[in-house]
Structure 1
Amino acid sequence: MLGSAFSQFKNIYNQKSLINQFTRREISNRYKGSYLGIVWSFITPLIMLVIYTFVFSVVFQAKWGAGENTSKVEFALLLLSGLLVFNIFSEVLSKSPTLITSNPNYVKKVVFPLEILPIVTLGSALFQALISYVILVSALFLLMGVFNWTALLFPLVLIPLVLFTVGLSWFISSLGVYIRDIGQIINLALPALMFMSPIFYPISVIPKEFHFIYQINPISYVVEDARRTIIWGELPSWDWMVYGTIIGVVFAAFGYIWFKKTRKGFADVL
């Protein structure tokens, strides 16, 4: 079964020109008709960063770790690095339940490769992440005078997350055709997952009896590696890179198998 899935991945690769075309359209449609256009891709993360930083470091007087003297600038950069990772996952998963139901015309076209739709959504999310990454690296250099060469390893850090996310997206987008309530469930789960991930705080401040929650959360490892490579100039956890990639491949394979198996009933339901 897995072998069949891997052979089918070649078909997805052969659709790379179509994926590229749809991804470009997805990005352009995001700000279609607005006066500032793609500039909003830079403005939005900056505004959200200011809001989160004000709330957590000014209103709640939050510090990064117990007893650590973290400046508001450093706190903001640590926050942005975590949000950068989580937003990739969040953007794709929030759109997944309606990916198929909002494109019934593609379902009726037997030759159209529906399996590329989650990849297109992921591509759009990665484009936004690239902009946030540029903002983060630039701010780190301009405000703190630091540029770590390990920041160039950040794309490698995202590999497990990309595989895990696209696998879940295939599963959820298919499930959303048959169970419309899945969208409401995802909308509840994503905010909970955001606060249960080490985005606004380090894992070191969590009581040890709750560490297992973060150990089974793959986003935690990616967030931590993002901070290691970009902010602190350290190498990522190579053990996690290996294990995480294997887990991601398994999720992607099973998600794709599920999607292909259930696709046969899409037209009947829609």
Structure 2
Amino acid sequence: MITMVRELRQAPELLTNLTRREVKGKYKRTVLGQLWSLVNPLAQMLIFTAVFSFVLRVPIPTGNPSGLHNFAVFLLCGLLPWGFFVNVLNGGMGSLVGNENLIKKVAFPRAALPLSNAFSLVFSWSIEMVVLLVALTLLGAASLLWTPAVVVVMALLFLFAFGVSLMLSVANVYFRDTQHFVGILTQAWFYATPIVYPTSLVLEQSDKLGPLLGSWTLYDFYRLNPMERFVELFRAPLYDNAWPPLDSVLYCVAWSLVSVVVGVWVFSRHEKKLAEVL
């Protein structure tokens, strides 16, 4: 891990240029350009709000102590971090295969490719989060005061997502089926995460079912999902204007550290073989 960090620190210009290329190339030759980074989550918000708020009528909690009760912003507080996570995974997973010619011809730290993808997504994600903060403030929430806490949570999610993307980028070099498998996995993972519904609904069903394995309930298994905790960490300061539970903070810190350490270890072991395998 130390070697990879040192190599990346010695190539700041490369990382900057790759990140700039990702940012400019993502919406190249489009009319709206970077505005698409706002249009996509807003379109998802409108669709999910129509389905889950008006058709299925999923109940949401009132923010405590913010007093907010708005399905659209409740949804965005979970949808934006989830979108960032999935985009980092998908972009990082294809970063090595998509730059096959560059890897075979030029010697440079290969980790710069998935890292530049993640950095480029931070740029658009930051714009989305600023818009969300402004919207929450206009609705009467004191979310701007919680900006430092939100930035810390964003950093933790970045580390977690980047670590997973390193592992997937290597896996996709050896097994091109990885991208298809991950696509199915993230679809299931989305609905296993409280984005379009509150965790209270899972708790209600868990209480009805009772213990499933020993003393473990459905809710206990559900809370093992790291993205469930990350969404909680975002909703607490943004929607509730409150500190997130300490156990969830420690859980996300642990997942972020483990993800980065394991991701760097896996990537480092295969980095020298990438040109041959590709």
- TM (normalized to structure 2)? 0.86
Q: Tell me, in whole angstroms, the C-alpha distance in 1 between the residues paired with 2:156 and 2:71.
A: 26
**1:73 CA drift (Å):** 6.9
- What's the counterpart of residue 78 of structure 2? 82
Shift of 1:231: 1.4
What displacement does 1:138 show? 1.5
After alignment, is 183-192 or 163-172 more displaced?
163-172
Alignment of 1:233-244 (within 5 A): 233-244=241-252
1:30-45 matches, within 5 Å, as 30-45=26-41
Letter aligned with residue 53 of structure 1:
T
Contact (CA 8 Å) 1:65, 1:201: kept in 2 or not?
no
1:14 aligns with 2:10: yes
Residue of structure 2 equivalent to 1:60: 56
Report the alpha carbon displacement of residue 243 of structure 1 after superposing the two structures with TM.
Answer: 4.0
Q: Which residue of the partner structure matches residue 260 of structure 1?
A: 268
1:226 equivalent to 2:234? Answer yes
In the alignment, structure 1 residue 27 sits paired with structure 2 residue 27: no
AA matched with 1:250? V
More deviation, 144-153/234-243: 234-243
CA positional deviation for 1:125: 2.0
RMSD: 2.1
Q: Distance in 2 between matches of 1:85 and 1:10?
A: 29
2-side partners of 1:14 and 1:212: how far apart? 44
C-alpha displacement of 1:34: 1.2
TM-aligned CA deviation for residue 32 of structure 1: 0.8
Whole-Å separation in 2 of the counterparts to 1:263 and 1:190? 26
Q: How many residues align?
A: 261
Q: 1:147 aligns with which of 136, 142, 149?
A: 142
1:73-102 deviation line (CA, Å, top 9, x unaligned): 711101001011111110011233322111
8 Å Cα contact 2:133-2:238 kept in structure 1: yes
State percent identity of aligned pairs.
31
Whole-Å separation in 1 of the counterparts to 2:191 and 2:113: 28
1:31–1:38: 8 Å Cα contact kept in structure 2?
A: yes
**Counterpart Cα distance in 1 of 2:11 and 2:253:** 23
Q: Distance in 2 between matches of 1:269 and 1:175?
A: 11
**3-state secondary structure, aligned to 2:70:** helix
**Stretch moving more, 19-28 or 53-62:** 19-28
Contact 1:98-1:176 within 8 A present in 2 as well: yes
Q: Deviation above 6 Å: which 4+ runs of structure 1? A: none
- Residues 168 and 251 of structure 1 are in contact (CA less than 8 Å); yes or no, is this contact kept in structure 2? yes
Q: Secondary structure at the match of 2:142?
A: coil
| Alpha-carbon distance between aligned partners in 1 of 2:189 and 2:26, rounded to the nearest angstrom | 25
Q: How big is each residue's C-alpha offset from its partner over 1:8-43, in whole Å with a ceiling of 9 and x where there is no partner?
A: 323223333322222122111111111221222222
Q: Which runs of 5+ in 1 are unaligned?
A: none
The alignment status of 1:114 with 2:110, answered yes or no, reads yes
Distance 2:179 2:81 in 1: 21
Residues 174 and 262 in structure 1, CA contact (< 8 A), matched pair in contact too: yes
Q: Identify unmatched segments of 5+ residues in structure 2.
A: 207-216
1:213 to 201, 217, 221: 221
TM-score scaled to structure 1, two decimals? 0.89
C-alpha contact 2:173 2:274 (8 A) present in aligned 1: yes
Write the distance in 2 (CA, Å) between the matches of 1:9 and 1:238. 30
Once the two structures are superposed, the pairs formed by residues 198-209 of structure 1 within 5 Å of their partners are: 198-206=194-202, 207-208=205-206, 209=217
Is residue 130 of structure 2 the alignment partner of residue 134 of structure 1?
yes
